[in-house]
Amino acid sequence: MSIESCQIRKLPTISDERGDLSFIESGRHVPFPIERIYYLHDIPAGASRGGHAHKRLKQLIIAISGHFDIVLDDGVSQKRVHLDRANIGLYVCPMIWRELDNFSPGSVCLVLASRPYEEEDYYRNHDEFLADSAGA
């Protein structure tokens, strides 16, 4: 996989004078069945999250509140993506190293995942990830 496979996805939004309602349907707006949902919040100033890759897991990452950046690394190239809208998600495919940083105060990062938590699915060492991604 390459970072070119990681794409911004605009989520459907219904707007009226009362505000916006955005929604997500598994398999329709997200290119995988959703098996797990989690969110990051109360992130201290200057902190970063992520720092890993997944062997099989697919994710859609959304800035539900505030903003943050995601640095994607496929072992060959890197790309920084800024998320700051609740109706925009970033699809992250397997075998992409990710670092999340530049969190605004009060930001909330929602993650929709294709698999339940499985420690064996993680690359937590960047050199191991690079070695395996070079052989893929």
Q: Annotated active-site positions, please? A: 52
> What tokens does 66 get?
């505030």
Q: What is the 3-state secondary structure (H, E, C) of 37-88?
A: EEEECCCCCCCCEEEEEECCCCEEEEEEECCEEEEEECCCCEEEEEECCCCE
How many angstroms separate the CA atoms of 100 and 104, rounded? 12
How many angstroms separate the CA atoms of 77 and 102, rounded? 20
**C-alpha triplet 118, 78, 44: angle, nearest 5°:** 65
